[in-house]
Amino acid sequence: MRARIHFLGKALMLVSSIAMLWLYTPEQAYGAPHEEPCTVANVAGAYGAIGTSGTIIKGNVLGLPAGPFAVVGRVVFDEQGNIFIVQSASFNGVIIRNVSDQGTYSVNADCTGTIVAGGGTDTADIVFVNNRNEVYGMDTASGIVGNFIFKRITQ
Q: Is the pLDDT assigned to residue 21 strictly greater than 90?
A: no
CA distance readout (Å), 74 to 49, 50, 99, 128: 6, 9, 11, 16
**What does the mean pLDDT of the chain come to?**
83
Q: What is the identity of the amino acid at 45?
A: G
67 closest CA partner among 91, 48, 43, 46: 91
d(CA 78, CA 105): 9
Q: Is the pLDDT assigned to residue 11 strictly greater than 90?
A: no
Lowest mean pLDDT among 23-27, 30-34, 84-88, 89-93: 23-27
Segment (H or E) for 2: helix 2-23
Query: pLDDT per residue over 130-149, tens digit each?
Result: 999 999 999 999 898 999 99
Assigned architecture for domain 40-152: Beta Barrel (2.40)
Residue 37 CA to its chain's centroid (Å): 18
Decide if 124 contacts 133 (C-beta within 8 A).
no
pTM equals 0.75
Decide if 40 contacts 79 (C-beta within 8 A).
yes
Query: pLDDT per residue over 32-52, tens digit each?
Result: 555 789 999 999 999 999 998
